[in-house]
Structure 1
Amino acid sequence: MPKQAKSKSTRKLKTYQTSLGFYDQAIAAPSMKAALQAWGASSNLFHQGVAKETDDPDIVAATMAKPGIVLRRPVGSHGPFTESAELPTDLADDGAKSTRKLKKRPAKTARKTSLEIDDQAARKAAAAFEKEERRREAERRKEEAARARERARRAKAVAAAEAALDKAGREHEAKTEEIEAERAALDERAEAEQARWDKQRTKLEQALRRARE
């Protein structure tokens, strides 16, 4: 009974496969939702027919060895799934290959039997998957914190630039007012000088006319 209770608490992992872009992708995850999240899919690839659960022994073995990690191989190939896969050698038909429907092959009893994982291995794989999930979540939090710091830095820089612009604008207005005041004073002095000169010239011209008579 205790062993049965422990088994119930274990998150059983399954192997899921899809094709995205230039790669076939596979992952050992506890659910389709977890697989979609790991793939970064924005839509339900399973409903669209481009993702499925697989019982291929080679694929299952590869994903169960690295649960929670997305493994890849060139799209349309039959080679092993690895963490770093090279691009397909023939990209001419990539558009058609990347959107092809994944056909389910009939399961074979003998193969299924060979793929059964005992409770200890299942618990180990599930723990590894959860560890990888925590690592990805920590990475997402780290990236979000970096983006938040970058937004704060930009906001601070914008605020400083706006403050400098406002200060320079106020200084410009003050200097403009000062110049306008000086200009008004000069205009007033010029008008006074013109009036003085007009008056003096009139007197001098009158004196000149009397001297000529």
Structure 2
Amino acid sequence: MPKEAKSRSTRKLKTYQTSLGFYDQAIAAPSMKAALQAWGASSNLFHQGVAKETEDPDIVAAAMAKPGVVLRRPVGSNGPFTESAELPTDLGESEARSGSKRNGRSKSNSRSNRRTIKPARKASRKIDDQAARKAAAAFEKEERRREDERRKEEAARARERREKAVATAQAALDRARREHEARAEEIEAERIALDERAEAEQGRWDKQRMKLEQALRRARE
């Protein structure tokens, strides 16, 4: 295998951590950009100080076990990161405390749902090359799965837009056809009425013409 191809397939994964909403989130990814994409972040959380690379051995172990998968835990807790995490149990108390703090301050924190990530302790164990290659391959597999999901979602949205456009066009066509048929019926009714008027006028004229022609003949005798 060429060295360049081998270096791409064994690119080293790092573990990144952030806090968004009600959850701490962690992921094993090859770069900050890949982590942001997996988190679905619309801004650079690393520049904002709410995301960082972590070397906490427990977090690294959990993330490396599922490369490319976003792991979560309730925000502010010290529990393990998992694929499905429950909401924090002290939401009411946290909101009450944050509300009282806001009332006592002149300025509110514009990023109340995020907390600054503090430096974590150094990892006590290293990941060997074989584990790194396995993790990188798993990450790329997860990336492909996530990309497939995105394509399916985009295709579903495109299909929904197309079906909506077809339904709108069909409704417009049906509405125009009904209007045309109503007008055609009105015109037909008017035509029948005109035919009846024309026949009545022709009958009236025939009677009047006969009388006038008889009067003309008598006048000539």
Fold match by TM threshold 0.5 = yes
Gap change, CA 1:192 and 1:152, over 3 Å in 2? same
Using the TM superposition, give the Cα deviation of residue 189 of structure 1 relative to its aligned residue in structure 2, in angstroms. 7.2
Asked if 2 retains the 8 angstrom alpha-carbon contact of 1:16 and 1:53, the reply is: yes
For structure 2, the 5+ residue unaligned runs are: 99-110, 206-221
111, 117, 127: which one aligns with 2:127: 117
After TM superposition, give the deviation of residue 190 of structure 1 in Å.
7.8
CA shift at 1:157, angstroms? 1.7
The yes-or-no answer on 1:180 pairing with 2:190 is yes
CA distance, structure 2, for counterparts of residue 17 and residue 115 of structure 1: 18
- Show the counterpart of 1:43: 43
CA offset digits 1:101-153 (Å, max 9, x no partner): 11224x5xxx44x3321111101000000000000000111111112222222
2: CA distance, partners of 1:191 / 1:5 = 97
In 2: Cα distance, 1:5 partner to 1:40 partner: 28
Change (3 A) 1:133 1:8: closer
Aligned-pair identity (%): 69
**Aligned residue for 2:115?**
100
Whole-angstrom CA distance in 2 between matches of 1:133 and 1:57: 24
Distance 1:117 1:162 in 2: 63
TM-score where L is the length of structure 2 = 0.76
Q: Within 5 Å, which residues of 2 pair with 1:35-184?
A: 35-92=35-92, 93=94, 98-105=113-120, 107=121, 111-112=122-123, 114-184=124-194
1:7 is displaced (CA, Å) by 5.2
Kindly indicate whether the alpha-carbon contact (under 8 Å) linking 1:14 and 1:53 is maintained by their aligned counterparts in 2: yes
Aligned residue-pair number: 190
Kept in 2: contact 1:36–1:45 (CA 8 A): yes
Matching of residue 20 in structure 1 with residue 35 in structure 2: no
For residue 194 of structure 1, report the CA deviation from its aligned partner.
10
Deviation at 1:187, TM superposition (A): 5.9
CA contact (8 A) 1:18 1:51 kept: yes
CA distance in 2 between partners of 1:37 and 1:167 (Å): 49
Q: Which consecutive unaligned segments of at least 5 residues does structure 1 have?
A: 196-213
Distance (Å, rounded) in 1 between the aligned partners of 2:15 and 2:37: 14
- In 1, are the aligned partners of 2:9 and 2:137 still within 8 Å (CA)? no
In the TM superposition, what is the alpha-carbon distance from 1:182 to its structure 2 partner?
Answer: 3.2
Offset from partner CA, 1:64-105 (integer Å, 9 cap, x none): 000000000000000000011011001132577632211224
Inter-partner Cα distance in structure 2 for 1:184 and 1:82: 83
Give deviations 1:174-199, integer Å, cap 9, x for gaps.
Answer: 1111222334455667889999xxxx
1:33 maps to 33
Cα pair 2:14 2:31 within 8 Å, conserved: yes
Aligned 8 A contact 2:9 2:136 in 1: no
Contact 2:16 2:53 in 1 (8 A): yes
1:21-77 superposed Cα distances (whole Å, 9 cap, x missing partner): 111000000001100110111111111111111111100000000000000000000
TM-score normalized with structure 1 length: 0.78
